[in-house]
Structure 1
Amino acid sequence: MRGMIGEITAALGANGLILRGGFLFPHHDGAPHGVSGAPAKSVLLVGQASAAPWPHFLRWREEQPQAIANPLDNWSRQVIGAVAEKFGARAVSPSDKPYLPFQQWAVRAEGLKPSPLGILMHPQYGLWHAYRGALLFEEEIALPEPCEAIHLCDACVEKPCLKSCPIDAYSTEGFAYQPCLAHVRGANGGPCRTGGCLDRNACPYGTSYRYPAEVQAFHMAAFAGL
């Protein structure tokens, strides 16, 4: 099994993706189906740290029609789907409908907790990581249970992530989606559109993994529908 995990890791790494932990579904109750339609027994999460997949995505994007919708989701599905096919798994995506509980899976797989922005805080990557998909297996894959990760937000007294947005989109009350969207689309939202969320960028952790401005601008444009 370790050999297969190593091969999956290498296959994903060829496109800048990494394994983000996994677990066994308890008694397989409510587990999504695997490749044959039977309930899955194991899940391996796939994601990224920093913007490592970006150059691979850009090369793929150059070969696609300009009007393709949701290109990053499509690229992720294609890459992860090829790995799934090779190893007899079913690939699923966070944007698949009906939605699967990816955030809950991530919490269980890596022992992380949400930051005040809702993004899971990673003890090494900070807020600069993402989950791009998962591999569902109809066999049990033995993985160690994750230890609860140090939650860096607990040690952060100043909470700059709640003080940098010009419209206070994030607060202890949650995320003000519509005001944020209107601001990013509006005349004063240029810094957010070109450099990314000011609150996210204010976080002092994992800064060496921060996405470059062009990557953040891509995600903000997708968020704003621009």
Structure 2
Amino acid sequence: MMYDLIARTAAERHLDILGGFHPSPQDHGLQGIGTLLLLGPKEPGYWRYFTRDREFRDGEPNPVDRWSARVVTGLAAAFNAQPLFPFTGPPYQPFFDWALRSGRCHRSPINLLVHDTAGLFVSFRGALALPQVLDLPAAAPSPCATCAAKPCLEACPVDAFAGGQYDVPACTAEIRSRQAHPCAIRGCAARRACPVSGGHGRAEAQSAFHMKVFLDNAP
């Protein structure tokens, strides 16, 4: 199966197919596309693999995005696909909506995407838009449906997700308020609290890197 071949080839680059769907003729910008596959870090081990590569070592800005552009574009060329990215724009590609369309991502109680295997650590490095219609794995129910404790609701020290909207100023003010804040060095407490996230194998150094980028660009 073509899907399995793409999955194996992506895995060699420590990327995973985190979902996919068959676009309809009404999907803006996806006319003529039979299947859209969403790619994200394959864990455990993605961060160790990435940090050995040239984009991380060359000292230039945006190493993760540059690595993603190179690797996903290479995969697209190998499979006669169009590469799409969440970081090119404006206008930006609707990865949040695409993730929900895949049936493997859902809205969590804190209104962030939750994935069936990556939990609240789900992230996307790109997508492959293929002309053919591929058989896709079945959709997965939201892990939140069977999570009675819902620890993500209580984990944030400033309740930045209260009311269903992410309070970015409250979050950043808290993290910047003291040295070595746990969210800065280990990643968002709410994301870490998710039981599925805990089994995903994401390196703390990876979360710290992304948190630093977030803080450097937040108001």
Interval containing the TM-score (normalised by the shorter chain): 0.7 to 0.9
- Residue of structure 1 in register with 2:123 after alignment: 130
In the alignment, is the contact (CA less than 8 A) between 1:31 and 1:41 conserved in 2? no
Q: Name the aligned partner's letter for residue 131 of structure 1.
A: F
Q: In percent, how many aligned pairs have the same letter?
A: 31
What secondary structure, in the 3-state scheme, does the structure 2 residue paired with 1:18 have?
Answer: strand
What number of residue pairs does the alignment pair up? 216
Alpha-carbon distance change, 112 to 65 in structure 1, aligned in 2, over 3 angstroms: closer
1:150 and 1:39 map into 2 onto residues whose CA distance is: 29
1:140 aligns with 2:132: yes
Displacement of 1:64 in angstroms is 4.3
Task: Return the alpha-carbon distance in structure 1 between the equivalents of residues 43 and 70 of structure 2.
Answer: 20
Q: Distance in 2 between the 1:203 and 1:172 partners? A: 19
Q: Output the TM-score relative to the length of structure 2.
A: 0.86
Residue pairs, 1:1-16, within 5 angstroms: 2=1, 4-16=2-14
Q: Structure 1 pair 193/111, CA: closer, same or farther in 2 (3 Å)?
A: closer
Q: Give the deviation of 1:15 after TM superposition.
A: 1.4
Q: Compared with structure 1, are the counterparts of its residues 75 and 51 closer, same or farther at alpha carbon in structure 2 (3 Å cutoff)?
A: farther
| DSSP-derived class of the 1:15 partner | coil
CA deviation after TM superposition for structure 1 residue 12, in Å = 1.0
1:32 is aligned to 2:29: yes
Q: Is the 8 A contact 1:23 1:143 kept in 2?
A: no
Query: What is the rounded CA distance, in whole Å, between the counterparts of 2:155 and 2:98 in structure 1?
Result: 30
1:19–1:152 Cα change, 3 Å: closer
Distance 1:55 1:115, change over 3 A: same
Contiguous gaps of at least 5 residues in structure 1 = none
- Separation in 1, partners of 2:29, 2:35: 10
Cα 1:22/1:220, change in 2 over 3 Å: same
Deviation at 1:118, TM superposition (A): 3.2
What CA deviation, in whole Å up to 9, does each residue of 1:11-51 have, x standing for no partner? 2111111122322221x234426xxxx74333121113434
Provide the TM-score with structure 1 as the length reference: 0.84
- Unpaired stretches in structure 2, ≥5 consecutive residues: none
Aligned pair 1:91/2:64, yes or no? no
* CA distance in structure 2 between the aligned counterparts of 1:62 and 1:23, rounded to whole angstroms: 30
Query: Could you tell me which amino acid in structure 2 is paired with residue 79 of structure 1?
Result: V
Whether contact under 8 Å (1:23, 1:145) holds in the other structure is: no
Secondary structure at 2:196 match in 1 = coil
Q: CA deviation at 1:136?
A: 1.2
Q: Is 1:117 paired with 2:110?
A: yes
Which one-letter code corresponds to 1:174 in the other structure? Q
Cα deviation 1:83-119 (Å, max 9, x = unaligned): 1112211111111211111121111223431112333
Kept after mapping to 1: 8 A contact 2:85/2:127: yes
